[in-house]
A and B are shown apart, each in its own frame.
Chain A
Amino acid sequence: MSGCRLGLRKRLALDIFSDLYASTVREHRLDTLFWECTLRCNLSCRHCGSDCRVDPGVADMPLADFLKVLDEEVTPHVDPADVLIIFSGGEVLVRADLEEAGAEVTRRGYPWGMVTNGMALTPGRFERLLDAGLRSVSVSLDGFEREHNYIRGNPRSYDRALDAVRMAVREPSLSYDVVTCVTGAMVPQLEAFRDMLIAEGVRHWRLFSIFPMGRAKDDPTLRMTDAQFREMLEFIKRTRKEGLIDASYACEGFLGGYEAEVRDQFYQCAAGISVASIRVDGSISGCTSIRADYHQGNIYRDRFWDVWQNRFDPFRNREWARRGACADCRMFRYCLGGGMHLRGDDGELLYCHYKRLK
């Protein structure tokens, strides 16, 4: 059963999952740490959630500052092999010291990965990053050439991203996925795009849709209608059944009857539960998609581990989110008010995936 309706069997499973999730929240074991190492970017994408630009007016965080936090605040409390460090931006490849950063993180025993638009990923740089311990990469590819270049605002961006995908696919030591922001224009082309990815040897594909943040909130060309949103979910469901490529919808949003059919797991927002971020200005948050109102501290002022252990209550106790559209919603017990990145400055829900399916 799909759409917004939940069958009894899935509802029972969600109840069990909610119990399991509650114990995960209590444990809040850190297993993913984002480092927003720069806000500089070599593109100016129409949908950027970070509002990053070539010169963002915010300096990159010095590598030494991040390593200090790792050494003094994280490593003493975790098994580094269990904590995935993700370099995020901006565009991480604009940092000239990225290889050094990777090597230092690897030397400390942490696996690391990065998210990239591929523009600056030459074969030589790719080799150097692998030598520095790169273990996982996500490459953004938002459709065929016309759609991708429109979103990315650069006529060479599609070719460069595809080159990056090809490098990742051919490297057996690397985990990878292609990440696609699905717009309304892309929906009719999803099958053809999927077939192209399969032909390129891509096995892991993550699709997401725009949420109203950053530049995207003012651009109607990036959005999908409710019917298109449902069509995309049906496509993912169908593709997963066919089994030729590991397609999944991103972690955002509770999807009612589509739960467990378009993703591997039931919906959960891991921000502040098992995921933390150190933003470019030192702010400590859940994941990098979450607005500044939910920062819980700053590495230049606070002890990271103390913040992680004691200040993430808004992420771990979501009763405060039971307001507005969520106040009387029967799904709150499963979604806990949706992803933290979908909450506005005042705590109100900006966007509800479940409601779009009604």
Chain B
Amino acid sequence: MNRKLKFALAALLGFSAACSSVKNAPKEDDGKQVSGVKVEESPSNPRVVVMYGVRLPDSVRIKRMERQHPDSLPPVTEQPREEASTPSGK
């Protein structure tokens, strides 16, 4: 089973973000339609914040996503994410 199919199955189960990273994955609305299932592609190396680690800088995360999945990001998600005044949910 290839990686893409595994992510598709995880998405079917509602755990695509958990199998990658919410912070790294494109927003749900940006997912591709494959057989009626929204597929969120993820970087091949989802980053985990280790206990004494720090958050991945936004610009670095976006750059990595662009490099690893150049076709998966619509223009709107390629823009650096701004810290909104009203935090969004998970």
Task: State the A residues within 8 Å of B (CB).
Answer: 9-10, 12-13, 16-17, 19-20, 23-24, 27, 29, 31-32, 34, 49, 79, 81-82, 84, 86, 88, 111, 113-115, 135-138, 172, 174-177, 203-204, 206, 208, 240-246, 248, 250-252, 259-260, 264-266, 268, 270-271, 274-275, 287-289, 341
Contacts and interface: CB of A to CB of B under 8 A. Distances in A.
Contact of A264 (B13, B22, B58, B88): B22
B44 A136 contact: no
B46 A115 contact: no
Interface of B: 1, 3, 6-7, 9-10, 13-15, 17-23, 44-60, 63-64, 67, 82-83, 87-90
A186 B71 CA distance: 46
B19 A27 contact: no
Contacts of A9: 13-15
Contact of A81 (B17, B46, B60): B60
Given A19-B6, A82-B64, A243-B87, A10 B55 contact: no
Residue among B3, B14, B55, B82 facing the most chain A CB atoms (10 A cut-off): B55
Nearest to B10: A16
Nearest to A267: B48
A137 B51 contact: no
28 contacts: A13-B14, A13-B18, A16-B9, A17-B10, A20-B7, A20-B10, A20-B19, A27-B44, A29-B44, A34-B52, A81-B63, A84-B60, A86-B54, A88-B52, A135-B59, A136-B55, A136-B57, A175-B57, A203-B87, A204-B55, A251-B50, A251-B53, A260-B17, A265-B22, A266-B15, A268-B48, A270-B50, A275-B50
Given A138-B53, A341-B51, A16 B45 contact: no
B54 A115 contact: yes
Given A260-B18, A264-B18, A270-B48, A177 B89 contact: no
Nearest to B17: A264
A265 B18 contact: yes
Contacts of B90: 240-241, 243, 246, 264
B55 A13 contact: no
Contacts of A260: 15, 17-18
Contacts of B59: 111, 135
Contacts of A17: 10, 15, 18-19
A208 B21 contact: no
Contacts of A270: 48, 50
Nearest to B24: A264
Residue among B6, B21, B50 facing the most chain A CB atoms (10 A cut-off): B50
What 10 pairs between A and B have smallest CB-CB spacing? Answer: A243-B89, A113-B54, A13-B15, A260-B18, A135-B57, A136-B54, A264-B22, A175-B55, A270-B48, A13-B13
A243 B23 CA distance: 14
Contacts of B54: 84, 86, 113-115, 136-138, 175-177
Residue among A20, A206, A248 facing the most chain B CB atoms (10 A cut-off): A20
Contact of B89 (A136, A240, A271): A240
Contacts of B57: 84, 111, 113, 135-136, 174-175
A125 B53 CA distance: 21
Contact of B18 (A115, A176, A266, A271): A266
Nearest to B55: A175
Given A20-B3, A240-B90, A287 B51 contact: yes
Residue among B14, B63, B90 facing the most chain A CB atoms (10 A cut-off): B90
A82 B10 CA distance: 26
Contacts of B6: 16, 19-20
A287 B89 CA distance: 30
A208 B51 contact: yes
Given A177-B55, A251-B53, 5 more contacts: A32-B47, A32-B53, A79-B67, A260-B18, A341-B51
